[in-house]
Structure 1
Amino acid sequence: MLAPERHEQILRSLRRHGRLRVAELVAELGVSAITVRRDLAELDSAGLLRRVHGGAIGTSTAGSGTQGSQLTIGIVVPSAASYYSDVIRGAEAMAGRYGARLVLGVSGYDVAMERERIDKVLGVGVAGLLISTALGDGDADQLDSRLDDIDVPVVLMERAFGFPQVAREYDHVRTDHAYGAMLALRHFAALGHRRIAINLQATVTAHWLRRGIETAASALDIDLFLSPVDLPAAGDDPAALAQLDAFLAECESFGSRAVLVHSDEHGARLVERAMERGLRVPEDLAVIAYNDVTAALAVVPLTAVCPPKFALGETACELLLRKLQSGAAPVQHLSLLPDLNIRTSCGALQPALTNHLTR
């Protein structure tokens, strides 16, 4: 096949799909990857398409805010509910401003399922991919080559993988969860609490929370106790109640009237059980939760660290879209700071409190 014929077929495929990948063109045209890349370079120089990492997009989809654009962005996340629902909404809002659309894949925090979802989303012909992997930064050694095998631009969300776990540097946008932990502990310290108990669930966020806790322990005049008890998010069965009681007993033994709990659901259940045992919240037990998805709906509204979930989705999507527009841009590592939303569960320390933990 001569070059003009290849160019015509490439443009015909581009009009049909909106985005082309080099590997697909190699199979379709029956030529080498070098030949395909040379064809794309020539068509790009002629203004007939826009080259991007791993392939090409149409020039009409590259402009900002073009209505009716064929540009499609993939987004793969561990969950479409709770925390990530706001992240997805933020990415969707930003995509809409650029005239683009999102294609969603959900891994369910399953590594094998994630690979399948990535392949399906890429199979749609997306121009780029937003991804929050099932593996967290603390498990980066298990990452294998799943990111490096993707042949479209990638922006990581809430992940910050780097060498040697990956072959190349990736753009990422993440919440500074270490700062979030320090924000909560600094607030406790400002209220006069000096002995603080902490309960973290086995989540990918815990990796960064521990870093913030370590920093706070050395920077603030406080004593910290990190509990090994696995708190239940719900349930009144004997095993769940025993776990809650065990943590409250740890607080009593440690002399703590302040607890930081990850996440909202666990904090809400802890408050309910503490009140069932006769404790007053916040007078006898002050609670700060982490995530702020359902914290305000607890029986006692929970003071909570609130990651900028919606803004994270917006920022990551805009970063990817700008990269697709420019064709080449410096890799960016962006950190967004969470806020602390003050509610009833964490009030000021009173001069004289009666310790009801033995009730």
Structure 2
Amino acid sequence: MNEVLGTERRRYILEAVRRRGSVQVAGLAAELGVTGMTIRRDLAILAERGAVDRVHGGAVTPAEANRLVRDRPLTIAMVVPTLGYWWGPLAQAVRTEAAGRGMRLVVTESRSYGRDTQEIVSQLRQTSRIDGFLLSPPTEGPERREIDEWLATLDAPVVLVEREPGDTRLHDVSSVGTNGVVGAALAVHHLHGRGHRRIAFMAPASGPGVPARIEGWRRALIDLDLPAPADWRYTSVSLTASHRDRQLGPVLDAMAADGVTGVLVVGDPHALALMDACRDRGVVIPRDLSVIGYDDELAALADPPLTSVQPPRHELAEIAVRLVTDRLLRPERVAQQVLIAPRLTIRASTAPPA
């Protein structure tokens, strides 16, 4: 069918929706010989009039939209790097939030980063009726670009969790995460308030949140007119006892030589390993060294209990579910990239320097 006037085109679309119950943008564009953008504009006009309800990739009659919500709960899938440390409790918080909205959640663990996420999403779409996805793909490495290209073409509502879109083509992808810059700065300001002036940073060599936390540590030191030498940034590698002693002994020696009295360690398991190494070497926490962890997963189990930056897990879950719901039921809304400020849970591992 050749190009027709807008009013006639929208009348055709409305009749198609009423007759079929639902329509897809791609199908209508082919039928009417227009672009998908033209069809999306028509659907937006019809939706404003209340004639149709937009869904991802097309539109349905208002009655059909109500039936979908009433008769078949919306189902979202969450693909996480692990169901262990931190991610498992986050998935549970998402499940609780989804259930409160009458939605169903399918959670699966990515066996590895990269292509595995794509394979899992493909399998879920083939075997289950998934309406939208919460994804946490890799943020670095050679597969990052491939993942971004795939996300840009994925024909399903996606919200990135604890990840930010890394490609300009992902401008229409929503995301929610915690602000690592703010989290690290909270720790530095807390130590400064306790009287510390030489504050170090320790983290794994790589990881999704590490660069932002390094930046937060560095910015806070500069804002407070404190020294921020690069050699006060230490790398934690292995958590096993044999490697821990070999790796952390020199770190503690270097901190002592530089007069470091406080340190932020990303995340809690690495902070606990550092505390064990301190105990082995007779370094008393917090008298000799104040330690702050990150994630607040294991912090309360430490001896002494560990002050730790706490990402707002329940707020993350709430916003993630809201964003994917918005993308499902109101796809015309603009994408949102949300960063939430963490909080600091203060315990006994920090005190004024001796």
Q: What is the aligned counterpart of 1:227 among 224, 233, 237?
A: 233
Q: What is the aligned counterpart of 2:314 among 293, 296, 310?
A: 310
1:69 aligns with 2:65: no
1:181 aligns with 2:190: no
1:155 aligns with 2:159: yes
Query: In structure 2, what is the equivalent of residue 133 of structure 1?
Result: 137
Q: Distance in 1 between matches of 2:143 and 2:197?
A: 32
1:296 aligns with 2:300: yes
Query: In structure 2, what is the equivalent of residue 34 of structure 1?
Result: 30
Identity of aligned residues (%): 29
Post-superposition Cα deviations, 1:162-214, rounded to whole Å, max 9, x if no partner, equal 543x3533211111110000000011111111111211112111021122122
Q: Residue 65 and residue 267 in structure 1: after superposition, are their counterparts in 2 closer, same or farther (change >3 A)? A: farther
Q: Distance in 1 between matches of 2:186 and 2:350?
A: 13
Q: 1:131 offset after TM fit, Å?
A: 1.3
Q: 1:62 offset after TM fit, Å?
A: 4.8
Q: Residue 324 and residue 143 in structure 1: after superposition, are their counterparts in 2 closer, same or farther (change >3 A)? A: closer
Q: Distance in 2 between matches of 1:21 and 1:126?
A: 17
Q: Residue 323 and residue 277 in structure 1: after superposition, are their counterparts in 2 closer, same or farther (change >3 A)? A: same
Q: What is the aligned counterpart of 1:207 among 197, 208, 211?
A: 211
Query: In structure 2, what is the equivalent of residue 85 of structure 1?
Result: 88
Q: Distance in 2 between matches of 1:304 and 1:63?
A: 45
Q: Which runs of 5+ in 2 are unaligned?
A: 1-12
The structure with the largest helix share of the pair is: 2
SS of residue paired to 2:288: coil
Query: In structure 1, what is the equivalent of residue 113 of structure 2?
Result: 110
Post-superposition Cα deviations, 1:191-241, rounded to whole Å, max 9, x if no partner, equal 1111112111121110211221221121013223443433432x222x321
Q: Distance in 2 between matches of 1:272 and 1:140?
A: 36
Q: Distance in 2 between matches of 1:101 and 1:210?
A: 37
Q: Residue 63 and residue 270 in structure 1: after superposition, are their counterparts in 2 closer, same or farther (change >3 A)? A: farther
Q: Distance in 2 between matches of 1:268 and 1:57?
A: 54
Aligned amino acid, residue 169 of structure 1: D
SS of residue paired to 1:82: coil
Q: Distance in 2 between matches of 1:161 and 1:138?
A: 16
Aligned amino acid, residue 198 of structure 2: R
Q: Residue 99 and residue 137 in structure 1: after superposition, are their counterparts in 2 closer, same or farther (change >3 A)? A: farther
Asked if 1 retains the 8 angstrom alpha-carbon contact of 2:82 and 2:110, the reply is yes
Post-superposition Cα deviations, 1:229-283, rounded to whole Å, max 9, x if no partner, equal 33432x222x321111011112112111211101100111111110121111100
Q: 1:81 offset after TM fit, Å?
A: 1.9
Q: Distance in 2 between matches of 1:230 and 1:288?
A: 14
Post-superposition Cα deviations, 1:68-123, rounded to whole Å, max 9, x if no partner, equal 53311122221222221232122212211221101223224421211111212333
Q: Distance in 2 between matches of 1:257 and 1:60?
A: 65
Q: Residue 86 and residue 95 in structure 1: after superposition, are their counterparts in 2 closer, same or farther (change >3 A)? A: same
Q: Residue 177 and residue 288 in structure 1: after superposition, are their counterparts in 2 closer, same or farther (change >3 A)? A: same
Aligned amino acid, residue 221 of structure 2: A
SS of residue paired to 1:301: coil
Q: Distance in 2 between matches of 1:22 and 1:70?
A: 23
1:330 aligns with 2:326: no
Q: Distance in 2 between matches of 1:51 and 1:80?
A: 34
Query: In structure 1, what is the equivalent of residue 241 of structure 2?
Result: 236
Query: In structure 1, what is the equivalent of residue 102 of structure 2?
Result: 99
Aligned amino acid, residue 85 of structure 2: S
Q: Residue 199 and residue 115 in structure 1: after superposition, are their counterparts in 2 closer, same or farther (change >3 A)? A: same
Q: Distance in 2 between matches of 1:303 and 1:65?
A: 46
Q: Distance in 2 between matches of 1:53 and 1:116?
A: 21
SS of residue paired to 1:147: helix
Q: Distance in 1 between matches of 2:185 and 2:118?
A: 35
Q: Residue 95 and residue 301 in structure 1: after superposition, are their counterparts in 2 closer, same or farther (change >3 A)? A: same
Q: Residue 323 and residue 138 in structure 1: after superposition, are their counterparts in 2 closer, same or farther (change >3 A)? A: same
Q: Distance in 2 between matches of 1:21 and 1:103?
A: 25
Asked if 2 retains the 8 angstrom alpha-carbon contact of 1:288 and 1:346, the reply is yes
Aligned amino acid, residue 308 of structure 1: P
Query: In structure 2, what is the equivalent of residue 246 of structure 1?
Result: 250
Q: Residue 134 and residue 245 in structure 1: after superposition, are their counterparts in 2 closer, same or farther (change >3 A)? A: same
* Larger displacement relative to structure 2 (269-278 or 166-175): 166-175
SS of residue paired to 1:70: coil
Asked if 2 retains the 8 angstrom alpha-carbon contact of 1:137 and 1:160, the reply is no
- For these two proteins, the number of residue pairs brought into alignment is 330
TM-score, normalisation: structure 1: 0.79
Q: Distance in 1 between matches of 2:346 and 2:329?
A: 41
